[in-house]
Amino acid sequence: MEQFLKILTAADNIPIVAMVFILAFVMTVAIKQAKENDCYLDEGKFDDMVEHMKT
């Protein structure tokens, strides 16, 4: 475990580690928005979905 942390905290690996966390955050937000849009479409409220996306 100590070797793993040493590799993760090496100066040239820090941006890669940060990118993993940023990617996880962005994917979580995208999936949440996709689920909301699917609910609008299932209810037949396309216009409401478009208005919600604009705000």
**Global pTM?**
0.72
- The pLDDT value recorded for residue 53 is 83
- What is the DSSP secondary-structure string of 5-55? HHHHTSTTTHHHHHHHHHHHHHHHHHHHHHHHHHHHHHTT-HHHHHHHHH-
- The pLDDT value recorded for residue 50 is 87
The residue extents of the domains of the chain are: 19-55
Helices 46-54 and 14-42 cross at an angle (nearest 10°) of: 150
Pick the most confident of 12-16, 24-28, 49-53: 24-28
Give the whole-angstrom CA distance, residue 45 versus residue 35.
14
Question: Is 54's pLDDT higher than 80?
Answer: yes
Residue 17, number of CB atoms within 10 A of its CB: 13
Task: Over range 32-54, report the average pLDDT.
Answer: 89
